[in-house]
Amino acid sequence: MIKHLFKLVWNRRRANFLMIMAIFFSFLVLFGTISVLVSSWKNYKQPLGFEPERIWYVNIQHFQTPKDEVRVVSEQLVRRLQTLPEIEQVALASGNSAYSGWSNMSGLTHGNLQRGINAVTIQAGDFKKTMNLNLVEGRWFQAGDEFSNKKPIVVTQNVKEFFFGNEPVAGKKLKSGDDEFTVIGVVDAYRTRGELNSDVGTFMRISSLADTSRLVENTLYLRMKPGITSGFEEKLLKEAGAVATGWKLDVKPMEVMRSSYLKENLTPLVVFAIICAFLILNVALGIFGVLWYNINKRYSEIGLRRALGATANQIYRQFLGEILVLATLGLVLGSFFAIQFVLLDVMGMQPEVYYYALAISIVVIYLLVIVCAFQPSRQAAAIHPAIALHEE
Amino acid sequence: MLKNYFKTAWKVLLRRKFFTFISLFGISITLMVLMVVTALVNYMFGAHAPEKNMDRMLYVTRLQMTGDGTQMNSAPSYYFLNRFIKPLKSPEKISIYSNSNYTSINFTSGRKLEMKTRYTDSEFWRIMDFNFLEGGAYGDAAVEGAQLVAVINEATSLNNFGTVKGVGKMLELDNRSYKVVGVVENVSAIRPSTYSDVWIPYTTTKDDLGNANYTGSFCAVLLARDADDLDDIKKEFYSTAAKIPLMPGQEFTELKVFADTHLEGFVREITASVENEVNAGLLYAVVFGGMFFFMLIPTLNLVNINISRIMERASEIGVRKAFGASSNTLVLQFLFENIFLTILGGTIGILLAAGALHLINNSGFIPYAQLGLNLPVLFFSLLICLFFGVLSGVYPAFKMSKLHPASVLKGGSK
């Protein structure tokens, strides 16, 4: 049966070649689009590690304030804001949080293992409570850690797994250039590139405002009490202005930053998906039209087969089978190229993403051709032998 | 003759409405996407206000310093540009102004108004051709005297004063009052070198401009007398750049700064190239390659359908051939019909594209975008239509012309 179908397809190879090419290119486009969608979806499903809902992100510009004064005033500012009844928690840290567009990558090594990881420096306030981080192992920073010569750090779960597998982290060391850090704790996640991008991992270190060898960080993270609206901003700036005269505070609720991040990152995805859908719809209509025409042209052939005893069901299955053979040929060719993409890792995603995408694309193409072939094949099966042969 | 072709083409289109629909659907959607892309590209890279003289402009926006294992990419500072770039001899004019990362805030009306703010010199207004709705730019005296004056765009004037006639009014920016001297048409956010809400003299900044730090948030634009002078300017620029001393007090060993046209700057941004010359041809190759690939699927589809349609007309072709029509005539006729179909689809595509662009403009997705179908875009669309029509018509037409009249007339169309 299958051999026979291949023979039928081969006999009309010229006409079928174009159909196979159309299926082949559609498959490639579908595969590319679905890979990106699957990858984004997988990233989106991973926990973010913190809650952006009530957090305000405040960027500070010090202008020409002398450096020593910046240290003192920053300390006062954090303490002052902590006393405001609208604010639950305050932390002063580096600005490389999610949605900020900043990154600060450091290469960490342990033995032969090496990986670029986002480095967050905490300088004042309680960062863990502010961001609501979830500690899963070890301990968080405590008083005195900022001056400890062991240089304690807290890492995210994926960093821990990369360097130490399932071993407990207590006392483990990580190197960055000449620095040697001691891992004291693990948080489940703290994603700094947003939920649609892959997680590179984060480590957090602590430093003191009194330490003159380090720059003063210029980002405040405020965790607001529930129900505080953006109307509070004016009061906040007034309160801050009383302590830090002449500085400029740029206040952004993280939710606002998040929605513009999502807008920026989802738009290309949606546009690609829509264009891809139109292309595929286009091809589907084309396949439908060509099949419909072919069946009209093979009227007498079908009539003859029916007269020789083929049932309507057999005719139906023959036409469906032919298009499935065509689709299979297109898909085999397409999968061959798609796998080259995977092997060369053109798009830089995890291998499993490609396998999901490959499977989904194959299923979609098969479904598509079956749907397109359904009506014309039924029409073929309904041909009455007497009428067909009479016309001949 | 042509009239006959039209008639035939029209009748053929009406005969199989479903096929006609499939063809037109594919063509119009494909062309719509291509036209929207073309309009976007034209809007991003075309020379129009305020960058009317774009073909004579070079932009200096990026500074790269590398050291032992570290690399720093940043915009240059005012100090750096003023000290090393401003003295260049070959450009006609040089302007130094800030990039638009700075946001001013105004609370006076009880609600928060955020305004993108740029610090500029007075030369900026002589290089860029802004469309002033009212008033004018601030001049040398205002910049030197650090006067609190501002040029604002239409939207800012409306938001703050409820009218586009904002000249003479006072605008609150970060707790300082600026006097509005001019109102300009909105400039879209996809023109990164001019986009802003408010433009004020750079001397009014609170930042320390004399600070000998090389990195900052400024950029420079160099205007050539003539588009042919760009190469000379680049030559002078890079020979000067090679002599710039390394930033004191830092451990960098190499410093690079670039002068690019708008397009080259865009390519440099994507490819992160650190060569003095970037290859803008690469961008063209990617764009045209992408367009070609994008057209490939609908083309294949159209070829498929065309073959089916043409074989249906086998007997017509047989009769024409029997009465002496040459293969060439038939190929031409069929190509004509196909181009007719494509242009019909293209017209629908233009309407769809106009709708889509209107939607994009109104969505406010790109701030102040005024995308539209102008002449270059329409011309390019026509080219795409013709290309598409010929591409999808050639093979079926060729196949048709090969038909043998005797066998066709006998009834076997295979």
ipTM: 0.76
Give A 65-94 residues with CB within 8 A of chain B: none
Q: Residue B343's Cα: distance from chain center in Å?
A: 25
CA of B22, closest CA in chain A: separation in Å? 6
Optimal mutation site among A8, A13, A18, interface B, most CBs of chain B within 10 A: A18
Residue A286 to residue B312, Cβ atoms within 8 A: no
Give ∠ CA B255-B256-B260 in degrees, rounded to 5. 165
Whether A105 contacts chain B with CB within 8 A: no
Q: What residues of B are in contact with residue A229 (Cβ under 8 Å)?
A: none
> In this predicted structure, what is the pLDDT of residue B132?
93
More confident residue, B208 or A117: A117
Residue among A19, A25, A248 minimizing CB distance to B174: A248
Amino acid in the structure at residue A25: F
Task: State whether A29 and B22 contact (CB < 8 Å).
Answer: no
Minimal CA separation from B104 to chain A, in Å = 9
What's the pTM value of the predicted model, to 2 decimals?
Answer: 0.81
Residue A305's CB: how many other CB atoms inside 10 A?
Answer: 19
Nearest by CB to residue B301, choosing from A246, A263, A283, is A283
Rounded Cα distance between A71 and A210, Å, is 7
**Is A286 in the B-facing interface, judged by CB distances under 8 Å?**
yes
Residues of chain A above pLDDT 90, percent: 46
Two tokens at B133? Answer: 């709705």
Q: Kindly give the pairing relationship between strand A152-156 and strand A179-187.
A: parallel
Q: Do B153 and B100 contact (CB within 8 A), yes or no?
A: no
pLDDT band at A389 (very low <50, low <70, confident <90, very high): confident
Q: How far is B349 from chain A (nearest CA, A)?
A: 14
Range from A343-347, B35-39, B269-273 carrying the lowest mean pLDDT = A343-347
For residue A301, the model assigns a pLDDT of 84
Average pLDDT over residues A67-96: 93
Q: Do B297 and A282 touch (CB under 8 A)?
A: yes
State the pLDDT at residue B327: 85
**Distances from the Cα of A188 to the Cα of A48, A118, A133, A138, A160, angstroms:** 9, 15, 8, 12, 10
Q: Do A282 and B29 touch (CB under 8 A)?
A: yes
Q: pLDDT tens digit string along B259-307? A: 999 888 888 888 877 888 888 888 888 888 888 888 888 888 888 888 8
For B19, nearest residue in chain A (alpha carbons): A289
Q: Are the C-beta atoms of B149 and B178 separated by less than 8 Å?
A: yes
| B2: CB partners within 8 A, 6+ apart | none
- Dihedral in degrees, nearest 10, Cα atoms B276, B272, B34, A280: 150
In chain B, the residue whose alpha carbon lies closest to the alpha carbon of A300 is B412
pLDDT at B414: 43
Residue A32 C-alpha, separation from nearest chain B C-alpha, in angstroms: 13
Query: Is B315 at the interface with chain A, CB within 8 A?
Result: no
- Residues of B within 8 A of A294 (CB-CB) are 308
A246 touches chain B (CB under 8 A): yes
In this prediction, residue A328 carries a pLDDT of: 93
Query: How much is the pLDDT for B27?
Result: 87
Nearest CA in chain A to B294: A279
CA A312 to chain centre: 49
User: Tens digit of pLDDT for each residue in A174-191?
Assistant: 998 788 999 999 999 999
Three-state SS across chain A?
A: CHHHHHHHHHHCHHHHHHHHHHHHHHHHHHHHHHHHHHHHHHHHHCCCCCCCCCEEEEEEECCCCCHHHHHHHHHHHHHHHHHCCCEEEEEEECCCCCCCCCCCEEEEEECCEEEEEEEEEEEEECHHHHHCCCEEEECCCCCCHHHCCCCEEEEEHHHHHHHHCCCCCCCCEEEECCEEEEEEEEECCCCCCCCCCCCCCEEEEECCCCCCCCCCCCEEEEEECCCCCCCHHHHHHHHHHHHCCCCEEEEEEHHHHHHHHHHHHHHHHHHHHHHHHHHHHHHHHHHHHHHHHHHHHCHHHHHHHHHCCCCHHHHHHHHHHHHHHHHHHHHHHHHHHHHHHHHHCCCCCCHHHHHHHHHHHHHHHHHHHHHHHHHHHHHHHCCCHHHHHHHC
Mutate which: A178, A282, A369, vs B, most B CBs within 10 A = A282
**Distance (Å) from the C-alpha of residue B33 to the closest C-alpha of chain A?**
8
Q: Which of B16, B101, B299, B301 to mutate to test the interface with A (most CBs of A within 10 A)?
A: B301
Q: Give the side-chain half-sphere CA count within 13 A for A36.
A: 17
Residue B400: other Cβ atoms inside 10 A? 21
Report pLDDT digits (tens) over A256-315.
999 989 988 898 899 889 989 988 888 888 888 888 888 877 888 888 888 888 888 888
What are the φ/ψ torsions at residue B259 (nearest 5 degrees)? -120, 115
Q: Taking a contact as any Cβ pair under 8 Å apart, which residues of chain A between 23 and 42 contact chain B?
A: 25-26, 29
The two tokens of residue A283 are: 């091809």
Residues 6+ apart with CB under 8 A from B41: B287
| Rounded distance between C-alpha atoms, residue B137 and residue B133, angstroms | 11
CA distance A281 to chain B (A): 9
Q: Are A302 and B42 in contact (CB under 8 A)?
A: no
Chain B touched by A18 (CB under 8 Å) = yes
Instruction: Please list the residues that pair with B260 across neighbouring strands.
Output: B59
Residues in chain A: 392
Predicted pLDDT at A61: 87
Q: How far apart are CA B246 and CA A346, in angstroms?
A: 38
pLDDT tens digits, residue range B304-355? 888 887 877 878 888 888 888 888 888 888 888 888 888 899 899 999 999 9
Q: Is B298 on the interface with A (CB under 8 A)?
A: yes
Contact B21, A292 (CB under 8 A): no
Look up residue A175 and give its two tokens.
């190197």
Q: Which residues of B touch A26 (CB under 8 A)?
A: 297
Contact B207 A63 (CB under 8 A): yes
Please report the sign of the dihedral spanned by the C-alpha atoms of residue B239, residue B245, residue B247, residue B253: positive
Helix axis angle for B17-45 and B262-271, nearest 10°, is 100
B206 contact A CB<8A: yes
Instruction: Give how far Cα B165 sits from Cα of A12, B152, B180, B328, Å.
Output: 72, 11, 10, 65
